[in-house]
C-alpha cells in the first residue's frame, strides 16, 4: 500500500492510540506510517464485541433463571474459557464445568470461592451474591 492510500478512518481507539502500518514510499521502499484506523477493521471489531456482549447477556440470563452459577457468568464476562480459568484457579476444567451447576456451586468451599473470586478480580461476596 502506498503512503497516500493509508486509511485514516476514525477507529474504536482513535482517541487513545494510532496504528503503525508498513507502506511504500515514493522510492518504492517500505517504511512505517501511522493510521487512525480503517472502517473495515472497525466493523469487524464492532461485530466481535457485539457477539461477546450477547454471550455475556445470555450467561447473565442463565444465572437469573437458575440454569447456571455465577462462575459461568463471570467466566464469560472476563472473556475466559475453561482452560484459561483452569490456569488461573488451578481447578481442573471438568470440575469447573460441574461448578456451573447452581446446586454444586452452593456447596463450594470458601477456598474454591476465593480462587474464583481472585481469578475474576471480584470479592467472594460479589461472586456468591450475584443473581443475574
Q: β-pairing, 19-24 with 30-35?
A: antiparallel
Say if 43 falls within a structural domain: no
Write out pLDDT tens, residues 14-59.
677 788 889 998 888 999 988 887 788 888 888 999 999 999 999 9
Write out pLDDT tens, residues 58-109.
999 999 999 999 999 999 999 999 999 999 999 999 999 999 999 999 999 9
CATH code assigned at 76: 1.10.260
Q: How many domains does the chain have?
A: 2
Element (H, E) at 52: helix 39-64
pLDDT for res 2? 78
Question: 71 and 29: one domain?
Answer: no
Question: Average model confidence (pLDDT) for the chain?
Answer: 92
Question: 80 and 27: one domain?
Answer: no
- The cell for 75 is 467466566
pLDDT for res 34? 87
State which residues form the domain around 68.
Answer: 49-129
Contacts of 1 (CB under 8 A, 6+ apart): 21, 23, 24
Q: Give me the percent of the chain exceeding a pLDDT of 70.
A: 97
Amino acid at each position: 500500500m502506498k503512503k497516500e492510500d493509508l486509511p485514516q478512518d476514525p477507529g474504536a481507539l482513535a482517541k487513545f492510540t494510532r496504528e503503525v502500518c508498513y507502506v511504500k514510499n515514493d522510492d518504492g521502499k517500505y517504511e512505517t506510517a501511522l493510521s487512525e484506523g480503517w472502517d473495515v477493521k472497525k466493523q469487524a471489531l464492532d461485530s466481535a464485541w457485539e457477539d461477546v456482549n450477547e454471550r455475556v447477556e445470555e450467561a447473565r440470563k442463565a444465572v437469573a433463571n437458575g440454569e447456571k452459577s455465577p462462575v459461568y457468568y463471570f467466566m464469560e464476562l472476563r472473556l475466559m474459557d475453561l482452560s484459561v480459568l483452569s490456569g488461573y484457579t488451578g481447578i481442573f476444567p471438568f470440575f469447573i464445568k460441574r461448578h456451573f451447576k447452581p446446586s454444586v456451586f452452593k456447596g463450594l468451599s470458601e477456598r474454591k470461592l476465593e480462587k474464583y473470586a481472585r481469578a475474576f478480580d471480584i470479592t467472594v461476596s460479589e461472586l456468591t451474591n450475584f443473581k443475574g
